[in-house]
Structure 1
Amino acid sequence: MRFLILIASLLVPVAAIADTVVPTRTIRAKEIIAANDLETKPQKVAGGVSDPEVLVGLEARVALYPGRPIRATDVGPPALVDRNDLVVLIFDRQPLSITAEGRALGRGAAGDRIRVMNLSSRTTISGVVRPDGNIEVK
């Protein structure tokens, strides 16, 4: 009977400690994260990133402080378009294709929807940032 109690006590699940990625220095918002900016600490944080390679090349959306865990919502793809950049607006519905010059009213990465002002008509419209930095108007 003692043997069964001993085995049962060994089978009790124990909370495992996972690694969490933390910055080694202060990383400002809009700054690209490099491999030497990161280290791992043996702690588990809900929503925290555990693989540093996932973060390399991404852009910080908020300020990241040394020793504090990095959450997945704190980073994102690098912005291709900044506020006040001159961009090309593209409306493409075959057989009609229209291009115009615009000014970005926000910043965004590929796939983000941002507002843009058409410089010809001074009309504000929204469009999706393409991987080449142009704005596709739908």
Structure 2
Amino acid sequence: MRFMMIVKATTDSEAGVMPSQELIEAMQKYNEELVKAGVLLAADGLMSSSNGIRISYPEPGGKPKVVDGPFTETKEIIAGYTLIEVKSREEAIQWALRMPDPHGYGQGEIELRQVFEVEDLMADPETRAKEAALRQQVQEQKQA
């Protein structure tokens, strides 16, 4: 089971305030623990929404609308993520609880969400096979 720990933005992260060296070291230690346990798939921080672009589809079948950041709804903005693969929901929760306060100032908030697996989304065997082939190509490109 894959889970994404979504780190919510704060006014500081949106203002471009960089994490302290202490927080960086705490996050590195945490990520090392995830690696040693064999559960870490990816982990990254994101730049503030002032560097972002939002694409919406206001009308079914219509043209997409492109809006440059910054975006004002700080609580709805993502500042970073950690993607893990674990055996259970409970294990994912335990890993999320071990993450240091992501902003280091008592403002941190983490949302934990399970990632759909191909089998959850695609019932048709042919569609699944196409998806598996596509994912295999991605892996091969990473290794090349």
Give the TM-score taking structure 2 as reference length: 0.24
Query: Per residue, is there more strand in 1 or in 2?
Result: 1
Question: Higher relative contact order at CA 8 Å, sep ≥6: structure 1 or structure 2?
Answer: 2
* Greater share of residues in helix: 2
**Which one has a bigger Cα radius of gyration?**
1
TM-score by length of 1: 0.24
